[in-house]
Amino acid sequence: MVSGHEFEALRQELIGFSYRMLGSMPDAEDIVQEAYVRWEQAGRPELDSPRSWYLRVCARLCLDRIKSVRYQREMYIGPWLPEPILPDHAEQAELDETVSIALMLTIERLTPTERAAFILHDLFGYEFAEVAEIVGLKPDHCRQLARRAREHLRGEKQRSRIDVDGVRRISDAFFQAIQAGDLAALRSVLTEDVTLYTDSGGKVSAAKAPVVGFDSVTTFLIRVFKNAQREYPFELRTVWFNGSPGVLCILNGEKISAFQFELIEGRINTVFVHRNPDKLAPLDQAANRALP
């Protein structure tokens, strides 16, 4: 019989799967708790494979939840970004592209069943026979779904292989150039077709649509930084979220934004900025961590 202790051993894996499916930590945690409640309501049955049973329940709950989640995001004010997710342990700082914001946004564009097959097989390493059992489809169908998902992903721009030092170096150069208004320096770190996404949920000021192109992005960011620093200087603090170093901007002691970058051929091609205060809240823990 699965004990509470054994369920706790599975919890992080189940939350990790559900987060990749939904892009929201509160939703992921709700899904996992609901899976446990369903096991209890079923009379705490003996399970031959607790991991497979819980993943199957979580997958089906996620597939049902996606419908309402998509409606909420259609109503969302401005660009939507996945909620920042922190490492499991305070001392952990390992690159993990399976939760990168860029990949999460691409996964968001897959159909629900493509999403489940791709995440379970390509990210979690399950065989298609196991994927089929979890999502309630035939193995060949799951194989086709994962293949279509990979084809969609291959249609995206080729991302740079990232390393921690490289990300930090480019990030430092980016912020120095933005604060100095140095366009020549910015051209060395940004691509010409760079895109900026600012997620505020309508709760604070931000661009209500993606800002596209070097001139538009640099003009927008330089103006924002100059206006914000009229009274107080920025504090820029490196934090780790979504599997990569990011930068938390603090103004007069208040967190106002969190930046992460997608790199193409060694330069920044996409700037992701969390401005929604609700999504910045999880970064309170990360703000005081000293990264290696």
Q: Model confidence over 176-210: pLDDT tens digits?
A: 999 999 999 999 999 999 999 999 999 999 999 99
Residue 175, pLDDT score: 94
Residue 273, pLDDT score: 97
Range name among 3-12, 51-60, 62-71, 277-286 with the lowest pLDDT average: 3-12
What pLDDT digit, counting tens, does each position of 155-164 carry?
666 565 667 7
CA-based nearest residue to 61, from 84, 29, 91: 29
- Three-state SS annotation for 85-152: CCCCCCCCCCCCHHHCHHHHHHHHCCCHHHHHHHHHHHHCCCCHHHHHHHHCCCHHHHHHHHHHHHHH
CA-based nearest residue to 139, from 149, 150, 128: 128
Which class would CATH give 164-287? alpha beta
Residue 290, pLDDT score: 43
Cβ atoms of 263 and 167 within 8 Å: the answer is: yes
What pLDDT digit, counting tens, does each position of 240-264 carry?
999 998 999 998 888 999 999 999 8
Residue 45, pLDDT score: 85
Under the banding of pLDDT at 50, 70 and 90, the label for residue 28 is: very high
pLDDT at 148 over 70: yes
pLDDT at 236 over 80: yes
Range name among 71-80, 92-101, 116-125, 206-215 with the lowest pLDDT average: 92-101
Under the banding of pLDDT at 50, 70 and 90, the label for residue 144 is: very high
Under the banding of pLDDT at 50, 70 and 90, the label for residue 291 is: very low
Cβ atoms of 233 and 218 within 8 Å: the answer is: no
Q: Decide which of 3.30.230.10, 1.10.340.70, 3.30.465.10, 1.10.10.10 is the CATH code for 96-154.
A: 1.10.10.10
Burial of 12 (0-12, 13-18, 19+ CB in 10 A): exposed
Between 104 and 229, the more confident residue is 104
Under the banding of pLDDT at 50, 70 and 90, the label for residue 81 is: very high
* Mean pLDDT value across residues 108-121: 94
Residue 27, pLDDT score: 94
User: 23: which residues sit within 8 A by CB, 6+ positions away?
Assistant: 69, 82, 83, 104, 107, 108
Measured distance CA(162)–CA(267) in Å, rounded = 11
* Plot region of 43 (φ>0 → left; ψ -120 to 50 → alpha; else → beta): left
| 36 φ/ψ angles, rounded to the nearest 5 degrees | -65, -40
C-alpha dihedral, 249 to 242 to 112 to 146, nearest 10°? 140
pLDDT at 58 over 90: yes
Query: 81-85, 92-96, 233-237: which has the highest mean pLDDT?
Result: 81-85
| 246 φ/ψ angles, rounded to the nearest 5 degrees | -130, 180
Between 49 and 115, the more confident residue is 115
pLDDT at 5 over 60: yes
pLDDT at 47 over 90: no
CA-based nearest residue to 263, from 117, 185, 158: 158
Question: Burial code of 97-129, b = ≥16 C-beta within 10 A, e = fewer?
Answer: eebbbbbbbbbbebebbbbbbbbbbebbebebe
pLDDT at 115 over 70: yes
Residue 116, pLDDT score: 95
* Mean pLDDT value across residues 35-46: 89
